[in-house]
A = this chain, B = another copy of it.
Amino acid sequence: MKYYLGIDIGGMSVKAGIITDDGKMVAKKTVETSAKGRTDDFIADMAKLAEEVTAEAGLCKSQISGVGMGVPGTVNTDTGVVTYACNIGFRNTPLAERFKELFGVSPKLANDADAAALGEVKFGAGNNANDALMITLGTGVGTGIIINGKIFSGRHGMGGESGHTVIVVDGELCGCGRRGCFEAYASATALIRQTEKAAEKYPDSEIAAIIARDGKVSGTTAFRAYKAGDAAGKEVVENYVKYIGEGTANLVNIFRPEIILVGGGVSNEGEYFIEMIENYVNANTYGRELNSEITVRKAALGNDAGIFGAAALCM
């Protein structure tokens, strides 16, 4: 049995787990990231967490076959330098080198969304597929691309930003400064905006009634109206599925994966929603009459995907 240490760095907390080569998590530990902005302290906290979770698994350091880290930002995967991670205040930070000085093992780094995709594919809903995509519908749209069992994130790990591919030229303003990105139409944030607009446009709709009752709009408002048979709800949900489907079909035409995993808060809506995406994608990919159908499935590992994936970076 081999043991791997996976570390998932978030804006609010750092999670670490010990994962066996057959995909079991034998220990897990989380710390708050109070040292945000103070890079050296932050890395020292991570090394301490690594020591602790190793001990909790009843292992000594020499029994760890490899360490991987998911970083919420842009990572040069060749050099182990975090180019930019605004949520934790890293900028051109030689994370791999600094961590090795403290823990004795040089970690492999990846973007956190990429690591989560790898975890889902290897140990979650991805059936260990060779070629897969993961689309995470949250505050933004994260995408993870797995080619030949490995994360693909462009030259030096500086690409892979499929959430920032434009699907509507001159469209909605995206957080990245460009207009019309996939993220600006398919994120939970975008869904909420689309729901608000529909409520204004159709004040007598069930959507508007739900918002009035709840006192707020959420990522489930439109789905609840849709399920109640509301025409406005139907319009919002079907358009939202279209946006997700168009961005996803684009990636299918480029990568032709075996499977697509959908994660993030919105993916919890239910199997019917995942099926709507699957149907849209299969009806809209290039050469659909020649290729086998694409399976779309809900991600299974939830918040642990990042730890599994970070560990899998070294397997």
Contact = CB atoms under 8 A, between A and B. Distances in A.
Contacts of A159: 252-256
Question: Which one of A145, A169, A176, A284 has the highest number of Cβ atoms from chain B below 10 Å of its Cβ?
Answer: A169
Interface stretch (A57-65, A191-199, A225-233, A242-250): A242-250
Given A131-B155, A290-B74, A166 B256 contact: no
Contacts of A164: 253, 286
A254 B161 contact: yes
A178 interface: yes
A93 to B, nearest CB: 13
A84 interface: yes
Interface centre among A131, A145, A243, A287, by most chain B C-beta atoms within 10 angstroms, is: A287
Contacts of A258: 155
A290 B74 CA distance: 9
Contacts of A176: 286
A51 to B, nearest CB: 32
A238 to B, nearest CB: 13
- Classify chain A: how many residues form its interface, as a range: 35 or more
A166 B246 CA distance: 7
Given A169-B246, A178-B284, 20 more contacts: A74-B290, A131-B154, A131-B155, A145-B254, A154-B254, A155-B255, A155-B257, A155-B258, A159-B252, A164-B253, A164-B286, A165-B165, A165-B250, A165-B253, A166-B246, A167-B169, A168-B169, A169-B185, A176-B286, A178-B286
21 contacts: A84-B287, A84-B290, A131-B154, A145-B254, A154-B254, A155-B256, A159-B253, A161-B253, A161-B254, A161-B287, A162-B254, A165-B250, A165-B253, A166-B249, A166-B250, A169-B242, A169-B246, A176-B286, A178-B284, A178-B286, A180-B246
